[in-house]
Structure 1
Amino acid sequence: MTWLHALTLLDFEKINILYTLLVAFTSSSLFLWGYLAQDEQLKPQEQYPELFKAVQSQGIFPDSKTFPDCIPVLAPELIREAYNSEKDKPDFDLKAFVLQNFKLPATPAANFTSDTTLPVTEHINKLWPLLTRQAINDFSSRIDLPNPYLVPGGRFREIYYWDSYFSMLGLKENGSYQLIEEMVNNFTFLIESVGHIPNGNRSYYTTRSQPPFYALMLQLLSEIKGDEIWPAYAPALKKEYHYWMDGALSLSEEKPTYRRVVRMPDGCMLNRYWDDCPDPRPESYIEDVDLAKLSAQQPEDLYRHIRAAAESGWDFSSRWFADGQTMKTIHTTDIIPVDLNALLYNVEVTLAHIAQLEQNIEQADHYKELAQKRKKTLLRYCWNTKENFFMDYDFVARQNTPAFTLAACFPLFFNMVLPKQANCVAEKLETDFLKPGGLITTLNYTHEQWDAPNAWAPLQYISIVALRNYGHHDLAEKIKQSWIQLNIEVFKTTGKLVEKYNVENSESEAGGGEYPLQDGFGWTNGVLLKLLSEGKNDPIDPVIVE
């Protein structure tokens, strides 16, 4: 019997106590445990393949994410043995078996009652502790992290990559500098141990990432602690960059793609979203399997496109659909996204900045050259001269996709464009995207959550900064005030700050997606607190520019 088997004979709460004592024994033990846990930590569909498929296929839980997040109360091999010995019995009850062998994931803020008489800023500051998780290993699919961190809220019980940056904006205004640094250190730990920052700290998320905001997090931390932070984090930032650029040197005219890199017709490199696994998502298993039955695509291709869209954070949007309407036509890996390549441009500029601080002129010039090439290539392929707007590029069809989206604001956010291009984007935003409550995500009305009439806090923030960068202060202020007013109005009415909003009708909830509207909510809180904390037309924290 192994030591883990012995532990499973104890009450699960005692296991947590023993683990806490182990952590307290030595300051380095948590890091050691984290590396050991990742070596041994399989995904739920690998730990219990037959049980997992049965639970997800039979819809034991309304939310497909519930079972992958469940906490085993016995060692996985013991649960597998018990399932195999009991599953064929006439009176076998699958749900009862799961509830006997697993602990359901907790929702710590479930009993929290909002006080709508409070200013919304006080409400947000009361929420931060409820959204904070401590470093502890519960033997579930959750990847153990060395420091406390924020979760978005609701069904999202783990840290999420790009969500965290926008939560950090609020933490900075709140003076929670230590938590910001701890979260940055968690992401650094994930880069070092997993090889990249996963979608979230779950074993089933490790085959994909999310939009690369780590460089922006480091820039935020440098505003707090100064340039002294860069040498410590430079190796991790380089490792993340290499993850996104893996295979770039091997591409050719005959082999134009590999994982996340794409060789364009002119020989230059841009990036796409990707996932290394061509299977249904464990957290949305039955949804993916059911969609495969409706789609003309091969299931493996469909699953890859779905997972790549999940990596984008825009899961899901008609920007990924070939017919502009239905998810069964999703083709994400055929698309060069505007926002992803603007973010990677910022990574290259940041690496050049670090090299310059280190007086490594040769390396600084190397990254500057990469950034300049990416900017020129992005402008060449993603600026639609007919529409005067930034649009994703379908490199298979060799043309821009028809989707108008707020991803167009990312090149402006990073100061990559000509003033006349910025003016055209601003005009389109004001004419077509601006609604009473803020900016709609796309101009396409579907049942997907990243389409009209929905709006999301991170895209409002990106757009506001983008417009200010090019002098469109009045429009930026109008968007800001509309968004703030909508957030406060919904809070006063419902007591909630939610993940997304209907900006056309404040009395209607934002809809679409694979799950009910979630409240909490990390990035909504962060962006709202950031916007409320600044004066009219105050500069928002700048990014590093060339």
Structure 2
Amino acid sequence: MKYTFSTLTFSLLLLLPFTFVVQPLRAQQLYRPEQELGELFEQVQLQHVFPDSKTFPDAVPLAPPAQILEAYRQQQNQPGFSLEAFVKAYFLLPSQPETGFTSDTSLSVTQHIERLWPVLTREPGADGGSLIPLPKKYIVPGGRFREIYYWDSFFTMLGLQASGETELIQSMVDNFTHLINTVGHIPNGNRTYYLSRSQPPFYALMLRVLAQQKGREVLKTYAPALRKEYDFWMDGADQLSAANPTHRRVVRLPDGSILNRYWDDAPEPRPESYREDVELAQESGRNPEEVYRHIRAAAESGWDFSSRWFADAQNLSTIHTTDIIPVDLNALLYHVELTLQEMAVLNGNRKEAREFERRAKARRDALLTYTWSEEAGFFYDYDFVKGTTTNIPSLAAVFPLYFSMVNRRQADAVAQKLEEDFLHAGGLVSTLHRTGQQWDAPNGWAPLQWMSIQALRNYRHDRLADTVARRWVTLNEAVFHNTGKLMEKYNVVDMGLQAGGGEYPNQDGFGWTNGVLLKLLSLDPQLLETETLELETQH
């Protein structure tokens, strides 16, 4: 039977209530382009048919994948065969929905963001391709990112909160809850090629935002889902020993403490960056599976890519992410444990509350033991293979302050280093290394500005927090009025240049930039009234 796009899509939609809602979602029920298209997928990616490697995994097949693969095998050696033409005949390529939206730089940046929310909102359902259907509306970041992203969504929710969009926050929380209950965790994004990994665990923080809007009792509703997510991150912890100190995302340290690392179950090239990963593995001269695992683990971190994960602090080819216990991940999981404790109290389960209080305290003690450098007065990621901190400075160091895990002396030392080394004309730089990677200097990112500002406020470093917020807001506004865009990331060192680095061009839209900017302005409207800054680059 010949399938058309419309009949295929309709057939899939008919199946959705049973396949994806009532029954647990199983990977084999979903379209996996990298698996089902075999050598066709490999050739499209390696031959660079599309400038962006994410294009083909997001394309929707217009016939059953097995039928397309068979057609490719029959046609590929025929005279005049064009791989690009074949793909365009058998797949619907992704495109941005027609919204009729145009930026108006005569509007305030707040008005611009309010107008953008509907543009970035997607309706529930499937597309017949690699998109994992969700039951409710959600916000996408924008640009090439046509699906929901895990940690992005928390920062987007901050802006939705400022806009009074409580029901959209509720819908997004419910979508993530749905993923936990069907997939078993929150994947990197709602694409099948993201299923083998997650992203920084911000779900508990999303629940805090929802509780601020609807009351603390709402936490009780989501306790089972948060526990499932926690169990995903802690899988195998009970089986660790001195002889077998690691399993997936958990690591047992020499003193018996258990902390977490980033991980991905598939030691293969990422489908959405297939050619880039194959080329990197070849250039590195290392075991390809080892490289792929570290690359994917870094993608789970959200910091893809950064000197944080490089053995030499400079070159992606030396990446060793799974050897590293990250400061930010473990601070986030500390908050998950405290939230589970609070949920247990709300549910009247004192025994469970005491257990999660114990786990949180043990994690805090271990994090301070292994990642705090007394000499530097700063938090560093810990290389458990070498048994030492990485000594690569990054804004991950603010996460323990964000969750109030440290004493005043430690907080003061971190604040001093931020002001002396990280602060520039447009805000805080992500790391102090220039590697050409997007999560290194000279780039600044909205989520890290927010975490840093709030971390500083927790310890009454309000002057520095105000400075960071003012510089970041001013940079965002200046770029908007010059270009009509809010960007994924910014060059905070030279405000006349665009941010660069990474595997794709700087994207506009942009979910978490909109969210953080709107939240900062809602907390202090006077930030936009500051017309001048010290624009000279410091340090």
TM-score band, normalised by shorter chain: over 0.9
2:234 to 245, 255, 272: 245
Partner SS, residue 251 of structure 2: strand
CA contact 2:173–2:206 (8 Å) conserved in 1: yes
1:104 to 59, 68, 93: 93
TM-score for the superposition, normalised by structure 1: 0.94
CA distance in 1, matches of 2:26, 2:96: 24
Instruction: Answer yes or no: is 1:350 the counterpart of 2:344.
Output: no
Could you say which residue in structure 2 is the equivalent of 1:76? 65
1:408 to 394, 397, 405: 397
Where structure 1 has 5 or more consecutive residues not aligned to the other structure, the ranges are 539-546
What pairs up with 1:149-160 in 2 under 5 angstroms? 149-160=138-149
Kindly provide the amino acid, as one letter, of the partner of residue 346 in structure 2. Answer: L
Against the structure 1 CA distance between its residues 353 and 380, is the aligned structure 2 distance closer, same or farther, given a 3 Å change threshold?
same
CA-based RMSD of the aligned residues comes to 1.8
Q: Tell me the alpha carbon deviations over residues 489-523 of structure 1, each in whole angstroms, 9 at most, x when there is no partner.
A: 00000110000000011110000000001000000
Could you say which residue in structure 2 is the equivalent of 1:492? 481
Residue 32 of structure 1: how far off its partner (Å): 3.4
CA distance in 2, matches of 1:71, 1:294: 32
Kindly provide the amino acid, as one letter, of the partner of residue 270 in structure 1. Answer: L
2:360 to 358, 368, 371: 371
CA contact 2:3–2:64 (8 Å) conserved in 1: no
Residue 76 of structure 1: how far off its partner (Å): 1.3
Residue 225 of structure 1: how far off its partner (Å): 1.1
Partner SS, residue 217 of structure 2: helix
Moved more, 246-255 or 75-84: 75-84
Residue 37 of structure 1: how far off its partner (Å): 7.2
Kindly provide the amino acid, as one letter, of the partner of residue 508 in structure 2. Answer: D
What pairs up with 1:81-480 in 2 under 5 angstroms? 81-108=70-97, 112-480=101-469
CA distance in 2, matches of 1:217, 1:252: 34
Partner SS, residue 265 of structure 1: coil
Could you say which residue in structure 2 is the equivalent of 1:501? 490
Kindly provide the amino acid, as one letter, of the partner of residue 487 in structure 1. Answer: N
CA distance in 1, matches of 2:343, 2:361: 17
- The 4+ residue runs of structure 1 with deviation greater than 4 A are 14-23, 28-31, 33-39
What pairs up with 1:17-32 in 2 under 5 angstroms? 31-32=20-21
CA contact 2:20–2:133 (8 Å) conserved in 1: no
Kindly provide the amino acid, as one letter, of the partner of residue 223 in structure 2. Answer: A
Instruction: Answer yes or no: is 1:9 the counterpart of 2:7.
Output: no
Kindly provide the amino acid, as one letter, of the partner of residue 182 in structure 1. Answer: S
Kindly provide the amino acid, as one letter, of the partner of residue 206 in structure 1. Answer: L
Residue 257 of structure 1: how far off its partner (Å): 0.5
Residue 35 of structure 1: how far off its partner (Å): 4.7
Partner SS, residue 192 of structure 1: helix
CA distance in 1, matches of 2:471, 2:520: 11
Residue 446 of structure 1: how far off its partner (Å): 1.4
Could you say which residue in structure 1 is the equivalent of 2:530? none
Could you say which residue in structure 2 is the equivalent of 1:64? 53
Moved more, 38-47 or 51-60: 38-47
CA distance in 1, matches of 2:484, 2:415: 33
Against the structure 1 CA distance between its residues 70 and 237, is the aligned structure 2 distance closer, same or farther, given a 3 Å change threshold?
same
CA contact 2:31–2:129 (8 Å) conserved in 1: no
CA distance in 2, matches of 1:305, 1:9: 39
Residue 108 of structure 1: how far off its partner (Å): 2.1
CA distance in 2, matches of 1:151, 1:536: 26
CA distance in 1, matches of 2:100, 2:500: 24
Kindly provide the amino acid, as one letter, of the partner of residue 41 in structure 1. Answer: L
CA distance in 2, matches of 1:36, 1:447: 39
CA contact 1:458–1:527 (8 Å) conserved in 2: yes
CA distance in 2, matches of 1:402, 1:46: 40
Residue 138 of structure 1: how far off its partner (Å): 1.4
Number of aligned residues: 527
CA distance in 2, matches of 1:531, 1:149: 22
CA distance in 1, matches of 2:69, 2:140: 31
TM-score for the superposition, normalised by structure 2: 0.95
Q: Tell me the alpha carbon deviations over residues 263-301 of structure 1, each in whole angstroms, 9 at most, x when there is no partner.
A: 011111000000000001100001011111111321110
Partner SS, residue 501 of structure 2: coil
CA distance in 1, matches of 2:506, 2:464: 29
CA distance in 2, matches of 1:147, 1:438: 35
Residue 312 of structure 1: how far off its partner (Å): 0.1
CA distance in 2, matches of 1:15, 1:402: 53
Kindly provide the amino acid, as one letter, of the partner of residue 61 in structure 2. Answer: P
Partner SS, residue 311 of structure 1: helix
CA distance in 2, matches of 1:123, 1:17: 36
Residue 36 of structure 1: how far off its partner (Å): 5.8
Kindly provide the amino acid, as one letter, of the partner of residue 51 in structure 1. Answer: L
Where structure 2 has 5 or more consecutive residues not aligned to the other structure, the ranges are 528-539
Residue 87 of structure 1: how far off its partner (Å): 1.5
CA distance in 2, matches of 1:244, 1:19: 32
Q: Tell me the alpha carbon deviations over residues 22-73 of structure 1, each in whole angstroms, 9 at most, x when there is no partner.
A: 87xxxx6685378567541142111101110010010000000000000111
Moved more, 110-119 or 325-334: 110-119
CA distance in 2, matches of 1:219, 1:152: 21
Same amino acid, percent of matched pairs: 58
Residue 78 of structure 1: how far off its partner (Å): 1.6
Partner SS, residue 262 of structure 1: strand
Against the structure 1 CA distance between its residues 192 and 39, is the aligned structure 2 distance closer, same or farther, given a 3 Å change threshold?
farther
Residue 385 of structure 1: how far off its partner (Å): 1.0
Q: Tell me the alpha carbon deviations over residues 140-188 of structure 1, each in whole angstroms, 9 at most, x when there is no partner.
A: 0110111111110000011000000000000011111111111101101
CA distance in 2, matches of 1:13, 1:42: 16
Residue 190 of structure 1: how far off its partner (Å): 0.5
Partner SS, residue 334 of structure 2: helix
CA distance in 2, matches of 1:418, 1:33: 48
CA contact 1:199–1:208 (8 Å) conserved in 2: yes
Instruction: Answer yes or no: is 1:53 the counterpart of 2:47.
Output: no
Residue 535 of structure 1: how far off its partner (Å): 2.8
